[in-house]
A and B are shown apart, each in its own frame.
Chain A
Amino acid sequence: MQIGSVLRTERLGMRFQGPGGEIRLFQDLDLHIDNGETVAILGASGCGKSTLLGLLAGLDTPTEGRVLVGDTDITALDEDARARLRSRHVGFVFQAFHLLSGLTALENILLPLELAGHRDAQRLARDALERVGLANRDRHYPRQLSGGEQQRVAIARAFVTAPRLLLADEPTGNLDRDTGHRISDLLFTLNREQQTTLVLVTHDPELAGRCDRVLHLDGGRLVAA
């Protein structure tokens, strides 16, 4: 999958059974994201941005339509096959960082490498930590790091497996403006260096503005800005 879209959805739709009946988040979403592209998804709170991102990562299965990562239809895969695909091709950055508190910064970064069975895990993890500027904090636990530092570790964790696709859900949402700025700089830098495709959800128009493409999720449809 060198040319064409790295990520594609076909007539993607998602519904939930809520207490007051069916909630239809979106439907018929057709999305093509090219290799190396950076895409921002904006939208009102609760419109389904995180849900969409989760579907793109194969964390959940849609009620309608398909998601294709490269040529693979991940909606046809079972849970474990999707997990395997993620471990090789997809990185994820969360708004709430989600580091494991019992592991040091370095160990948190080692985690996906070990899950994927990498040989050179230690070196790769140290490199990644160095690239996010935290080489000297390798033995610190998450609680000993600031929010921005934690998010940098989380970004290193997402990039360390050199995924083709990086998904970030409000990566700066929990951070102050300056820190947020530095985090997004980091994201874009790594993205450029590693030729990664980046899809991020944000409420921050400025962050969105740095992306190649900005999409609005509105009324269950994706519209280009």
Chain B
Amino acid sequence: MSTLRLALRMLLRDWRAGELRLLALALVLSVTAITGVAWLADRVAGATESRASELLGGDRALVSDRPIDEVHALRALEQGLSVSRTLEFASVILVGDRTQLAALKAVGEGYPLRGQLQVGDDPDAKPETATTIPPRGEVWVEPRLLMQLGIAVGDTVELGARQFIVGRVLLLEPDRGRGFQSLAPRVMFNLDDVAATGLVQDASRVTHRLLVAGESPDVEAWQSTVQADRAESVRLESPGEGQPAVQRAMDTAKRFLGLSALLTVVVGGVAMLLTIRRYAARHLDRVAIMRCLGATQAGIAFLFTTKMILLGLATALIGTVLGYLVHLVMLALLADFLPSLPSPGWRPAVTGIGVAQVILLGFALPTVLRLRKVPPLRVLRRDLGGGVLKGVGVYLVALAAIFLLMWWQAGDLRLAVYVFVAVTGTLSLLGLGAALVVGILRRGWRAGGGSGVLVSAIGRRPWTTGVQIVALGLGLMALLLLSLVRDDLLQTWQDGVPDDAANYFLINIQPDEVDDVADMLAEAGVDTEVRPMVRGRLVAIDGNAVDAGAYEDPRARRAVSREFNLSWLERLPADNSVVEGRFWKGGDTVDPQLSIEREFAERIGVALGDTLRFRFGGDYYEAPVTSLREVKWDSFNVNFFVLASPGFLEDAPATYLTSFYLPEDSQVLLPRLVRAFPSVTLIDITSILEAVRSIMDQGVRVVELMALLTLVSGLVVLLAALQVTREERRFESALLRALGGSRGLIRRLALTEFLLLGGAAGVLAGAGAAVAGYWMARSLFDLDYGINPLLPVAGLLAGVLVVTVAGAAATRGLYRVSPMRLLKSSEEG
């Protein structure tokens, strides 16, 4: 393999000559950014998932009304997963002659597999983490149960045929509140005590759960075996499912991460293109000489390809190691937010090596390969072959590489196409803007014939100036997007979960209690509406019987195979908006009709105008769909997938419910409510809200760090752009001085250049970021966000500041080079 050795030798020579350092730096930084992001995303996604896992109590859960086949647990154990079981049912708890309906949960060893139980000795105790499950003979209870029954820790309660001691107060149960179906206060006890209570008979309504947790590949492997042969009645739950708000929070966080990573890729690519062109241009003569000495085109191509692959491997190695370190630093910053991280996988490392090669193949190799076309005659006529580096092919390949990387990063073709179109559109617009700026300046100056013009860089190097404006513009745009726009977006997003999001639900309100409950809430100053709710089954769509088995989507299958909740009301709630059709007006007098949440309608295959048939108990109701709605689930208000017009469902058996926000200091209302309406169930959703908030906060932190990486990439582009023109600047500085320009003049010229460059790039970037932010908010994140007119101004300031400071720093000393060099090298000119 003499070519390999030759390539290696040439590579080392290039390196020593300093020719490859910049290219290698750009590559290393790209790989560092990408692998750092990959590693972070990998582990944070794992952690975010495990945060959501806490809401599930494990990484996956099998749920069933009947005992779950042992085989699933055994398989999980074989896979090295941890396993735990729970059994939930409702029953009455007795203390003396007082009774209280309680949500019982018997838990097995190891519970919870994800998250922690927080307990204390009285309701106001400082929460401590439980290290075990309740021992046999003990119950752990929610504070409100103590209040409801007037008991304390140490007292005795009866559950069925067995007496229990109240051992601890249950202050936080991570997997509480799933689907809001646990209505009554929680009473938790040991699974081994279930039999002794005699409460669970064969026909009892109970929910069995098998919780499973472990390394995600193992969990996934287990999941696929389960999916293959689980009984129809057994349901598989994964983190985030069944909770629209949590799901949405996770999706949005993931999108933010993916997007940041994509921007890093693109910005890194610009730096690559800038440097590789320079590298190739500097190799024109060398290749001409090699050709002259008898190297074939194929030989040159092979040599350079080998060189690039070797370079790719070396830089990938360094970049991957650096990326790993970078992600460690970022994790250290995140330490408070990520209590338990999955251990680092090896995949990001392989990714790093693959990505380095893709980047090189996409961004560097096409340019370098063109060198093989350099005519040998160039050794005699230096003007020959200078054009081989020109052409759009190189950029097309680079675009293809960008797209591939985006696709890989987004893991979603649609998102990749979206972002790709956005990014290429942005690049074209930036290019257009840059051409316009350069053109206007040149033309204006030439027409004016004024002095000092020719010495301006924009006059002297229109092409590099244009490229620099585009590259800097892109970097600055990423910077602005990820700082200002991101803040705006996150603010808009977090505003979706207002501080006064409902924190309590009251359900099971009987029709004859509605007015009294509403009065009591109103008296206490709580602003809310009490809504009716009927439970019904969808039996036909447009006369076609609904068949759950016909749905591909498991969520759709689940939705139609169960009863779901409908409500009716007169006016559209504030957090709903109609996206298709019209919402009814006119109180009780309107014809029967339905309004459906859009995504839900899509999922179950219902379109505007379809007629739906429901069964409530033994009665059937039929009405057309006259509007599709969008719902802001983040508000935690009571909302329904299906709404009916008033009057239509009035005969169906209804209960009522409401949600409201109660500040911490007015919670005395709660015991009054519970006492006045014993059968009404009060649900505290503060804990769910807190889980959602903490996931959001984590997301913000992580996105900020990702933004930092992209920002660094942007700075690398700036430095690359400056480096690319370094030789040119050096030569020009020498020439201008030989022709009689003072150093002060040269420095002033450079400063003017940086001001113009930074200003132009900044304004373009600001305008671009404003438009991109607007577009992203609307089409990616579903947020209501306007164009921020201050962005171009911010861009101008940021551009001028960053480019001037970095430019002055990077070119320091450059202008002091002796003009004597003009007498030596014959390279420039």
Which residues of A come within 8 Å of B, CB atoms? 50-51, 53-54, 57, 59-60, 79-80, 83-88, 90, 92, 94-103, 107, 110-112, 114-117, 121-122, 142-143, 157, 161, 169, 174
Complex CA distance for A96 and B735, rounded to whole angstroms: 12
CB-based contact B740/A107 at 8 Å: no
Is B742 at the interface (CB under 8 A from chain A)?
yes
Q: Is there an interface contact between B451 and A96, defined as CB atoms closer than 8 Å?
A: no
Partner of A80, one of B460, B461, B744: B744
Closest to B827 in A: A96
Question: Is B736's beta carbon under 8 Å from chain A?
Answer: yes
Distance to closest chain B CB from A38 (angstroms): 20
A112/B739 in contact, CB under 8 A: yes
Query: Chain B residues with Cβ under 8 A from A92's Cβ?
Result: 738-739
Chain B residues contacting A57 (CB-CB under 8 Å) are 738
- For window 723-762 of chain B, which residues contact chain A by CB distance below 8 Å? 731-732, 735-745
Residues of B within 8 A of A90 (CB): 740
Q: Which residues of chain B in 133-154 are interfacial with respect to chain A, using CB atoms and an 8 Å cutoff?
A: none
* Contact residues in B for A100 (Cβ distance below 8 Å): 460, 732, 735
B824 touches A121 (CB 8 A): no
**Which chain B residues in 444-480 approach chain A with CB under 8 Å?**
449, 451-455, 459-463
B826 contacts which of A79, A86, A96, A116 (Cβ < 8 Å)?
A: A96
Q: For chain B residues 705-738, which have a beta carbon within 8 Å of chain A?
A: 731-732, 735-738
Q: A107-B454, A122-B449, A143-B386 are in contact. Are A115 and B826 (CB under 8 A)?
A: no
Asked whether, in the complex, the Cβ of A121 is within 8 Å of the Cβ of B451, the reply is yes
* A122 cross-chain contacts in B, Cβ below 8 A: 449
Would you list 6 pairs from A and B whose C-beta atoms are within 8 A, ordered by A residue? Answer: A59-B822, A84-B740, A85-B740, A87-B740, A95-B823, A112-B740
Are B383 and A59 in contact, CB atoms less than 8 angstroms apart? Answer: no
* Contact A59-B452, Cβ < 8 Å, known A101-B829, A115-B745: no
A111 touching B459 in the complex, CB below 8 Å, given contacts A57-B738, A88-B740, A122-B449:
no
Nearest-Cβ distance from residue A177 to partner chain B, whole angstroms = 15
The reply to whether B825 and A96 form a contact with Cβ atoms under 8 Å apart is: yes
Asked whether B820 is an interface residue with its Cβ less than 8 Å from the other chain, the reply is yes
B820 with A86: CB separation less than 8 A? no
Q: Complex Cα distance A50/B737, Å?
A: 17
A103-B743 in contact (CB<8A): no
Please indicate the chain A residues that have their CB under 8 angstroms from the CB of B744 in the complex.
80
What A residues does B496 contact at CB under 8 A? none
Quote the shortest CB–CB distance from A191 to chain B (angstroms).
19
Tell me, in angstroms, the Cα distance from A92 to B386 when the chains sit together: 27
**B828 interfacial by beta-carbon distance below 8 Å:** yes
Contact between A53 and B823 (Cβ–Cβ < 8 Å)?
yes
B679 at the interface (CB under 8 A from A): no
Are A59 and B819 also in contact (CB < 8 A) when A102-B460, A103-B459, A114-B454 are?
Answer: yes
How close is B519's CB to chain A, nearest CB, in angstroms?
A: 82
B492 within 8 A of A: no
Asked if B818 is at the interface of the complex by the 8 Å CB criterion, the answer is yes
Nearest-neighbour CB distance to chain B for A200, whole angstroms, equals 13
Across the interface, which residues of B come within 8 angstroms of A112, CB to CB? 739-740
Give the shortest distance, in Å, between A197 (CB) and chain B (any CB). Answer: 17
Q: Which residues of B contact A59 (CB under 8 A)?
A: 737-738, 818-820, 822-823
A112-B829 Cα distance, complex, nearest whole Å = 16
* Cβ distance B119 to chain A, nearest Cβ, rounded Å: 75
Q: How many angstroms from the CA of A90 to the CA of B738 in the assembled complex?
A: 9
Which residues of A sit under 8 angstroms from B739, Cβ to Cβ? 86-87, 92, 111-112, 115, 157
Contacts of A95 in B (CB 8 A): 823, 826
Residues of B within 8 A of A94 (CB): 822-823, 829
Q: Which of A80, A101, A114, A161 has a CB less than 8 Å from the CB of B455?
A: A114
Q: Which residue of B lies closest to A49 (CB)?
A: B823
Question: A60 contacts B820, CB within 8 Å?
Answer: yes
Contacts of A88 in B (CB 8 A): 740
Report the count of interface residues on B (CB-CB < 8 A): 37
Task: With CB as the reference atom, state the residue of chain A lying closest to B465.
Answer: A102
Q: A95 CA to B826 CA in the complex, in Å?
A: 8
Q: A84-B740, A86-B740 are in contact. Are A115 and B735 (CB under 8 A)?
A: no
Chain B positions within 8 Å of A86 at CB level: 738-740
Contacts of A103 in B (CB 8 A): 454, 459-460
Point out the residues of chain A lying under 8 angstroms from B455, CB to CB.
111, 114-115
| Cα separation A85 to B740 with both chains bound (whole Å) | 7
Contact of A143 with B383 at beta-carbon distance under 8 Å, contacts A59-B818, A96-B825, A114-B453 already known: yes
B742: chain A residues within 8 A (beta carbon): 79-80, 83-84
A157 CA to B738 CA in the complex, in Å? Answer: 12
Q: Could you tell me which B residues sit within 8 Å of A by CB distance?
A: 383, 386, 449, 451-455, 459-463, 731-732, 735-745, 818-820, 822-829
Give the CA-CA distance A169 to B819 in the complex, in Å.
Answer: 14
Name 6 extra pairs, CB < 8 A, besides A96-B826, A103-B454, A110-B454. Answer: A50-B824, A80-B744, A88-B740, A100-B735, A112-B739, A114-B455
Closest to A111 in B: B454
List chain B residues, Cβ under 8 A from A97.
829
| A103 and B728 alpha carbons, distance in the complex (Å) | 13
Q: What separation, in Å, do the CA atoms of A107 and B449 have in the docked complex?
A: 10
Question: Nearest 6 CB-CB pairs, A to B?
Answer: A87-B740, A102-B460, A96-B826, A80-B742, A50-B823, A86-B740
B823 touches which of A54, A117, A157 (Cβ 8 Å): A54
B826 to chain A, nearest CB (A): 4
CA–CA, A95 and B825, complex, Å? 10
User: Considering the chains assembled together, what is the distance between the CA atoms of A13 and B730 in angstroms?
Assistant: 27
A116 to B452, CA, bound (A): 10
Residues of chain A contacted by B386 (CB below 8 angstroms):
143
Contact A96 B828 (CB under 8 A): yes
Q: Known: A96-B829, A101-B829, A174-B826. Contact between A79 and B732, CB under 8 A?
A: no
Contacts of B451 in A (CB 8 A): 114, 117, 121
- Write out the residue numbers on chain B whose beta carbons fall within 8 Å of the beta carbon of A116: 740
Q: What's the nearest-Cβ distance from chain B to residue A143, in Å?
A: 7
**Residues A107 and B459 in contact in the complex (CB < 8 Å), given A83-B740, A98-B828, A116-B740:** yes
Q: Is B823 touching A99 in the complex (CB atoms < 8 A)?
A: no
| Cα-based distance from A92 to B461 in the complex (angstroms) | 23
Q: Shortest CB–CB separation between residue B77 and chain A, in angstroms?
A: 71
Shortest CB–CB separation between residue B749 and chain A, in angstroms?
10
Partner of A51, one of B459, B741, B820: B820
With A and B bound together, what is the CA distance between A114 and B826 in angstroms?
A: 26
Nearest CB in chain A: distance from B272 CB, A: 24
A102, B386: Cα distance in complex, Å? 15
List A contacts of B827 (CB < 8 A).
96
CB A63 to nearest CB in B, in angstroms, measures 13
Complex CA distance for A184 and B736, rounded to whole angstroms: 25
- Shortest CB–CB separation between residue A7 and chain B, in angstroms? 17
**What residue of chain B has the Cβ atom nearest to residue A117's Cβ?**
B451
Cα of A110 to Cα of B739 in the assembled complex, Å: 11
- Minimum CB distance partner of B826 in chain A: A96
A54 contact set on B, CB distance < 8 A: 819-820, 823
Q: Specify which chain A residues have a CB less than 8 angstroms from the CB of B461 in the assembled complex.
A: 102
* Residue ID in chain B nearest A53 by CB atoms: B823
In the bound complex, do residue A99 and residue B829 qualify as a contact, i.e. CB atoms below 8 Å apart?
yes
Identify which of A51, A114, A169 gathers the most chain B CB atoms within 10 Å of its CB: A114
B455, B732, B744 pick with most chain A CB within 10 angstroms: B455
Which of A96, A101, A114, A142 is B452 in contact with, Cβ under 8 Å?
A114
Contacts of B453 in A (CB 8 A): 114
In the bound complex, how far is the Cα of B740 from the Cα of A100, in angstroms? 15
**Cα separation A121 to B829 with both chains bound (whole Å):** 23
How close is A198's CB to chain B, nearest CB, in angstroms? Answer: 17
Across-interface contacts of A51 in B (CB, < 8 A): 820, 823
* Given contacts A100-B460, A103-B454, A110-B454, A115 and B740 within 8 Å (CB-CB): yes
Query: B829 and A98: CB pair below 8 A?
Result: yes
Q: Output the nearest chain B residue to A101 by Cβ-Cβ distance.
A: B829
Docked Cα-Cα span, A116 to B738, in Å, equals 12
CA distance A59 to B733 in the complex (A): 12
- From B732, B818, B828, give the contact of A60 (CB < 8 A): B818
B residues less than 8 Å from A174 (CB atoms): 826
